[in-house]
């Protein structure tokens, strides 16, 4: 457990699953997500994750699901996965009512530090839905670069949501961790 900027970072446990599912859903889906700027409610309906998906990340030997608390309350989370010379950053969620206040910057910087120190990786990778220009711009301001490498959105697999448009794909963003 580590503390940075009044936040406590710890690895998620089985007991956190329901809280983390609710957090991720509130950050990306439905009307609650509209309180923040990371909402995907206009491009995707349905779920963003489920208890099985969160538990799989917690249990994976190559992953960490960082849970971020402030004053004993879970306010954010992110997944770190070791993939050889790089780490993958995903499942990043900040409580919608706390978005826009600099919390995300602190969390991503700490996640990068943890990945670098834990696994001695040289890059962080992530995928972002390519039509999310505002979100991609935010990551670019943190040092990530667009690669132009796309992977298809899993249309028809409702575990990832119900698309509201037919042009969704994921773009790989990369940042050197040196």
Confidence of residue 27 (pLDDT cuts 50, 70, 90): confident
Angle at 92 between CA 1 and CA 27, to 5 degrees: 115
Query: How many Å apart are CA 23 and CA 49, to the nearest integer?
Result: 10
For residue 166, give the CATH number of its domain: 3.40.630.30
- Domain extent, residue 27, equals 2-176
> pLDDT for 34-75, tens place per residue?
655 565 556 565 556 788 989 999 999 999 999 999 999 999
pTM: 0.88
3-state SS string for 85-97: CEEEEEEEEECHH
Query: How many Å apart are CA 142 and CA 67, to the nearest integer?
Result: 21
Total domain count, the chain:
1
């Amino acid at each position: 457990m580590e503390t940075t900027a009044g936040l406590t970072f710890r690895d998620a446990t089985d007991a956190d699953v329901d809280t983390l599912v609710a957090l991720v859903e509130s950050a990306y889906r439905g009307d609650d997500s509209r309180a923040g700027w990371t909402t995907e409610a206009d491009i995707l309906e349905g779920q963003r994750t489920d208890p099985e998906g969160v538990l799989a990340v917690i249990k994976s030997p190559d992953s960490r699901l960082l849970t971020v608390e402030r004053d004993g309350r879970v306010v954010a989370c992110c997944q770190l996965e070791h993939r050889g010379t790089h780490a993958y950053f995903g499942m990043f969620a900040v409580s919608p009512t706390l978005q826009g206040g600099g919390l995300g910057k602190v969390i991503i910087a700490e996640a990068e530090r943890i990945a670098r120190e834990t696994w001695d990786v040289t890059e962080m990778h992530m995928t972002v839905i390519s039509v999310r220009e505002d979100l991609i711009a935010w990551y670019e301001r943190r040092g990530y670069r667009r690669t132009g490498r796309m992977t298809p959105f899993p249309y028809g697999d409702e575990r990832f949501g119900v698309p509201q448009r037919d042009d969704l794909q994921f773009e790989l963003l990369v940042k050197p961790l040196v």
